[in-house]
Amino acid sequence: MGYLDNLILNTDNYKHCHYPLYPPGTEYVSSYIESRGGDWPVTQFLGLQAYLREYLMRPITLEDIDEAEFVVREQGMHFNRENWLGILNDHGGYLPVEIEAVPEGTVVPARNVLVQVINTDPKYFWATSFFETALLRAIWYPTTIGTVSWLSKMAIREALERTSDNPQVIRNVLHDYGARGVSSQQSAALGGMAHLVNFDQSDTVPGILAAKRLYNAGKVSNSVPNSEHAGFCAWGRAYEADALRNMLDVFAGNAGGVLLLTDTYDHENCVKNIIGGELREQIRNFPGLVGVRPDSGDIVEVTSDTTEWLMDAFGYETNSKGFKVLPPYVRVVQGDGVNFHSLPQVYMELERRGLAADNAIFGMGGGLLQHWNRDTMNFGQKASAAMVNGEWRDIAKSPTGAGFKVSKAGRLALKSENGTYVTVPKGSIPDSENVLQPVFRDGKLLKKWDFTELIANAEQEVPESYYIEHVRQMRTVPAGQATTVPA
């Protein structure tokens, strides 16, 4: 959608009338971005480099200025052509701004500075806030999706620690199926990329491409042949077993595995009598994992029910924690109805029945990439300092009736203290202790994050307080225990 790439138009119309509203003598404006609190106590910061490389490293042109002037004036809005000709002639078309940011992938408590922006040329003090609309959107969405993914990972880790002997499988447990559930391909790219910081599983191709193109990622995702109802329905109800058998035959040479849909007609019948009956020996001998995929029903009940039906057919072992585990060649793959809130409930039911967490693999779609907005974590960008006639002024808003909108004042820094983070005045700590790093200045990328660095930042140990509210309910389940001998 190249017609949307004009930086001067990638904003709200009213931004064009803001530059004369600052006090005479304004030279510099400093602003910052934070989550002002919301549904969760933490944020996993992601997405800034993608925006910088796709937009701020592209200079504006005379044609961009001409187009913007026509469009903005047509709307009845003020437009200062001289401002933009100055950007073109004085700075080669690049916005004269410097941006500092938290290392991408890092999990930081909410209400802390994540990004700080300041103009580098006093002639263009207005530039700091002009691109707020695009910058804020570029950050709140992938950061929110990354946080959803990371907190889900904490729930998975909790379940594995309680009931499994295989905590190392954690990056393979949650698969991204969200490409069709988002509002745009760009959303799929940014949200899918954010999820891959925490997990190695995805079918969202735009997210894989974004990680590779914008963060130098290598192999970031795994997938295996999956099935859809169209292909199975085409065989007819009387030939459901043949449809499943055909998929096993076709992909027998695939080392990864296959995922078999079992709810085309009657899920329970399919699992008990086809998967666990007619095809039992073929599945036992399949050279890879066979995933049994219910795609309807009550997610909490059907995941545990399916696990137990498969154990009736294929047996199980009891692990060191006393929980039953299917043979390694067969697993439940649950995608329908999986979201941020239901996933812990599924694990709680598995545990209640004495079933290990690693019996099931999960996929999320719209619940991962789409069910969120800017207000989920109350993201905002606010000016906090301005230099007027050579003197810095600390500035902040403090509206009545909306305490969470009270903004921070002054130039800011982020300090790591006792295993957590705190926002402090810039200059109160040495630059070497400031977690915010300069990443962009005047059209140039100062720090290029590699995807492996994002993953390493995301996997740093954090205080339990970061995620305890999401997993607390899981700790109320009495520890289950298998009481029968392995079949």
Dump pLDDT digits (tens) for 95-148. 999 999 999 999 999 999 999 999 999 999 999 999 999 999 999 999 999 999
Nearest CA to 361 out of 244, 223, 205, 241 is that of 223
Residue position matching structure tokens 């609190």: 37
Three-class SS of residue 328?
coil
Reported as type and span, the H/E element at residue 364 is strand 360-364
Q: What is the pLDDT of residue 443?
A: 97
Q: What is the pLDDT of residue 477?
A: 80
Nearest 5 degrees, angle CA 142-CA 144-CA 146?
A: 65
| Total-model pTM | 0.94
In this predicted structure, the answer to whether residue 336 has a pLDDT above a threshold of 90 is no
CATH 3.20.140.10 boundaries in the chain: 2-143+377-461
Share of the chain above pLDDT 70, in %: 98
Q: Which residues of 337-353 are buried (b: 16+ CB within 10 A; e: fewer)?
A: bbebebbbebbbbbbee
In this predicted structure, the answer to whether residue 484 has a pLDDT above a threshold of 80 is no
User: How large is the average pLDDT for residues 187-212?
Assistant: 97
Give binding residues for diphosphate as ranges: 180, 229, 293
- The CATH classification number of 2-143+377-461 equals 3.20.140.10
Q: What is the pLDDT of residue 487?
A: 34
In sequence order, the 6+-apart residues with CB closer than 8 A to the CB of 334 are 293, 294, 299, 302, 303, 306, 346, 360, 361, 362, 363
Per the CATH hierarchy, to which homologous superfamily does domain 162-371 belong? Aldolase class I (3.20.20.70)
Nearest 5 degrees, angle CA 33-CA 200-CA 206?
A: 65
Give binding residues as ranges: 180, 203, 229, 293-295, 335-336, 366, 374
What average pLDDT does the structure give for the chain?
94
Give binding residues for beta-nicotinamide D-ribonucleotide as ranges: 203, 293-295, 335-336, 366, 374
CATH 3.20.20.70 boundaries in the chain: 162-371
